[in-house]
Structure 1
Amino acid sequence: MSFALVTGAAKGIGRAIAAQLAKKQYHLLLVDIDNENLAQTAAALTQQYAIQVYHLHLDLSAPDAMERLTIFTSPYHQHLSVVVSNAGYGLNGAFEQLTLAEQLNIIDVNIKAQVSISHAYLPVLRAQTVGYLLNLGSTTAYQTVPYLNIYAASKAFAVSFTRGLRYELRNSNVSVSCLSPGSTDTDFVNRARMGDSIKKTAERFNMTAEKVAEIAIKGLFKGKAEILPGFLNKLNAFLPKFFPKTLVEKIAGNIYEPKTSVVKAPAHFTTAVHGKVSTE
């Protein structure tokens, strides 16, 4: 009997990852702030895969979040071998126009919760024959993204933190990976309050959450350091390093600056920026 913990599991990539693990007959511990969709996901996966699914309605930015999470999972620690820290979100807008409170909340969910989960569950994963930790990054981690500033910076932290942790655990039984998706067909753009022009750009390059999850779980169990699903996302992650940062920032800024009309980037640079609406 093996259990997997997945945060941000109510919908999108988190739900799709939970389904991939369920296919492999992992019993599931699911966590999300969206209680209604979380309950529906748990019921659907229980019925479809005949596994045990337990769920917890939880805001990971709450002061007592980690205490509540570990109490919820503690009965299953003996069999918990996969931890997926997927929960996260972003907001589209100028730094000075978004409130400080909501931007700090992004940091609480995308950074503090991910670090806290990694720290809390490493001893649990070490106790297994083999343990797997998957943290969520983004293709936005590989360049500056004006008007999606805090989100992109938080994902740069996720990639750096996960790679550093992976190195520290290189001689252990715990494999650490970072999933960095690009534009994905989820509710991320709506929660991020993105305008229609950005949504239309994202839709042109969307991967399905199911495909991202399939690639993610294959990469996780193969022990990959970074999992970039899809050729375009690999290109979007690495191409910006070959151009001046000011140019990449200008192109990204033109795309993500809140507006009613579409501002098009030069055609020969579009691959460097179009994969950046990473979604959880």
Structure 2
Amino acid sequence: MNIKGKWSLITGASSGIGEQFARQLAKEGSHLVLVARSERRLNTLAAELTRGYGIQSRVIPLDLSAAGAAGELYQKCQQLNLEIDLLVNNAGFATHGLFEKVSGERQHEEVMLNVAAVVDMTHSFLPGMLQRGAGAVINVSSTAGFQPLPYMAVYGATKAFVLSFTDALWWENRDRGVQFFALCPGSTETNFFNVVGTEDASVGTKDTPERVVAVTLRAMKKGKQYVVPGLRNYLGAQISRFMTRRQSLRLVGNMLRPSKQ
């Protein structure tokens, strides 16, 4: 898909992978709708990219974990007469620790943002893409989506949902002009672990968000269905296929066990 002169909407755009999507898509000439909770960061980024690449940008500060937020965002885009041709569902966060010791309210927000918002956003913006016969949706899953994660049970389950959901919609829409694509990064140098509150959730060498997004856009242009950036991450994501479920749980559980319980 040629994104030049078209509108891309990116959630979680204020930092990390979301910010890199904004930067690299702007470089390709895409206009941007930037969504996150931090209006100040979004305004700074929007001004820089508009000035640097001559694109248009709109900032919509919003907490997508709130009920009805996706519908509110869609209505704002309608009011601004914006046709979204590329939707990047990137916003999300993780929790870490023994399930019963993690705040239930926080885990509920995790499900609402990582799962419900992705479904609601897709419901809102897909019909317009289908009507125009063109468009794309990038859903950010994770290597966590390939196997259950002890001590990150909710996060792993949400990312497994995103991967399964994206695969299914890729098949449904493969001949309808709309491309679905799942990005499944491993540990990446973002604010992710600051939000989690511990480095115990990190596995292996961290990739850079710049490389993760560059790999994603190249893979999409080749018509791929999903990508796991980094050979080591890819092999790690596939290893559970060659182990029993209990063996996989033992391996991952030992990696993610909290240093303090």
TM-score interval, normalised by the smaller of the two chains: over 0.9
1:129 Cα offset (Å): 4.6
Matched, 1:16 2:59: no
The runs of 5 or more residues in structure 2 that have no matched partner are none
Q: Is the CA contact 2:11–2:34 (under 8 Å) kept in the aligned structure 1?
A: yes
SS at match of 2:98: coil
Matched, 1:179 2:207: no
1:215 Cα offset (Å): 1.0
Q: Could you say which structure has the greater relative contact order, defined with CA pairs below 8 angstroms and 6 or more residues apart?
A: 1
Q: Residues 15, 224 of structure 1: CA spacing in aligned structure 2 closer, same or farther, 3 A cutoff?
A: same
1:75 Cα offset (Å): 4.6
1:76 Cα offset (Å): 5.6
Q: Residues 188, 99 of structure 1: CA spacing in aligned structure 2 closer, same or farther, 3 A cutoff?
A: same
Q: Deviations over 1:156-188 (max 9, x none)?
A: 000101111111112201011111011111110
1:108 Cα offset (Å): 0.2
1:37 Cα offset (Å): 2.1
Q: Residues 77, 215 of structure 1: CA spacing in aligned structure 2 closer, same or farther, 3 A cutoff?
A: farther
Which whole-Å CA distance do the structure 1 matches of 2:245 and 2:140 have between them? 24
1:20 Cα offset (Å): 1.2
5 Å-filtered alignment, 1:156-235, equals 156-195=160-199, 198=200, 202=203, 204-235=204-235
Which whole-Å CA distance do the structure 2 matches of 1:29 and 1:260 have between them? 41
Matched, 1:46 2:50: yes
Q: Deviations over 1:105-140 (max 9, x none)?
A: 111000000001111111121233521111111001
- Pick the aligned partner of 2:151 from 147, 153, 175: 147
Q: Is the CA contact 1:79–1:128 (under 8 Å) kept in the aligned structure 2?
A: no
What is aligned with 2:240? Answer: 240
Which whole-Å CA distance do the structure 1 matches of 2:100 and 2:45 have between them? 37
What is aligned with 2:131? Answer: 127
Q: Is the CA contact 2:84–2:125 (under 8 Å) kept in the aligned structure 1?
A: no
Which whole-Å CA distance do the structure 2 matches of 1:187 and 1:246 have between them? 31
Matched, 1:25 2:29: yes
Identical aligned residues as a percent = 34
- Pick the aligned partner of 1:86 from 81, 85, 90: 90
1:260 Cα offset (Å): 5.0
Matched, 1:101 2:100: no
Which whole-Å CA distance do the structure 1 matches of 2:238 and 2:25 have between them? 29
Q: Residues 193, 162 of structure 1: CA spacing in aligned structure 2 closer, same or farther, 3 A cutoff?
A: same
Matched, 1:259 2:248: no
Query: How many pairs were matched up?
Result: 257
- Matched to 2:128, the amino acid is V
1:190 Cα offset (Å): 1.1
Q: Residues 76, 132 of structure 1: CA spacing in aligned structure 2 closer, same or farther, 3 A cutoff?
A: farther
Q: Residues 77, 128 of structure 1: CA spacing in aligned structure 2 closer, same or farther, 3 A cutoff?
A: farther
1:31 Cα offset (Å): 0.3
Q: CA RMSD in A?
A: 1.8
Q: Is the CA contact 1:81–1:128 (under 8 Å) kept in the aligned structure 2?
A: no
Q: Is the CA contact 2:14–2:41 (under 8 Å) kept in the aligned structure 1?
A: yes
Which whole-Å CA distance do the structure 1 matches of 2:80 and 2:237 have between them? 37
1:193 Cα offset (Å): 1.4
